[in-house]
Amino acid sequence: MQEKTEDRLRKVKSILVTLPKPETEKSPYFDLAKKYNLKIDFRSFIHVEGVPAREFRKDKVNLGDFSAVIFTSRNAVDHFFRICEEMRYDVPADLKYFCISESTALYLQKYIQYRKRKIFFGKQTAADLAEVLKKHAGEKFLYPCSDVATEDTMNFLQKNGYNFTPAVLFRTVVSDLSDLAEVFYDVIAFFSPSSIQSLFVNFPEFKQNNTRLAAFGANTNKAILDANLIVDIAAPTPEAPSMIMAIENYIKKSNK
């Protein structure tokens, strides 16, 4: 039976964020560390590896068959253009790009002349693209994804009858965390079920004890509970739409 989170309120001095370290000092995590005098470390529990062209060819996906591509992440963008280069495929100028968010769409500038291409984007989910996709229902879509593709996107595309083909261009791989064996944090923040899997691959005998676990998203929350662990900090919620806000709200209570 899960212990009440109120009974687990303890002062927070150190936090491990299971994401890559931000590239700039403008991250709100650094502001949080400074505000509450915290030690915050970053370490990705998973990483992405590209599927080589020779392996991709086995799936018999002909890139030239598609008139549009759907991107749900920067990784998908990177590995789509990587596989095109490895296969010596010239991306046609009239290819249409449908992106999960504006930030993903803008990331395309790394590879194409943004203003000269047909680019559409939603707010954050495939469902946000619904109206745009309806107007282009006749397109044949390529959906670059990982081996753990987001079910929500796949289900949305299938449910609405779009002619799309998933293409596994990269894999989510467990990172080696052996150097953390004797390192302990007050809070560990998780953002995907894959990171929970990585935790137990690296540390099969992991015991939560007084370590508080933060979970972003329903699937991550479920993965923690399924592992018989306790979710002490959950996001997003109406009170805390971001992980930063959820952690800070907890600290306000625990570090009085």
Structural domains for the chain: 15-45+234-256 (no CATH), 50-172 (3.40.50.10090)
Q: Model confidence over 70-87: pLDDT tens digits? A: 998 899 999 999 999 999
Q: Model confidence over 1-27: pLDDT tens digits? A: 355 556 789 999 999 999 999 888 889
The rounded mean pLDDT for the chain is 91
% of the chain residues with pLDDT over 90: 75
pLDDT recorded at residue 124? 66
In sequence order, what are the residues at sequence separation of 6 or more whose Cβ sits closer than 8 angstroms to the Cβ of residue 192?
A: 46, 217, 219, 220
Q: What is the rounded CA–CA span in Å between residue 127 and residue 100? A: 9
Contact 172/146 with Cβ under 8 angstroms? yes
Pairing of strands 96-99, 39-42: unpaired
Q: Model confidence over 100-144: pLDDT tens digits? A: 888 899 999 999 988 888 999 877 666 777 778 888 989 999 999
What is the pLDDT confidence band of residue 243, given thresholds at 50, 70 and 90? very high
Query: For residue 186, which amino acid is it?
Result: D
Neighbours of 183 (CB within 10 A): 11
Across residues 191-200, what is the average pLDDT?
A: 94
pLDDT recorded at residue 1? 39
Query: For residue 251, which amino acid is it?
Result: I
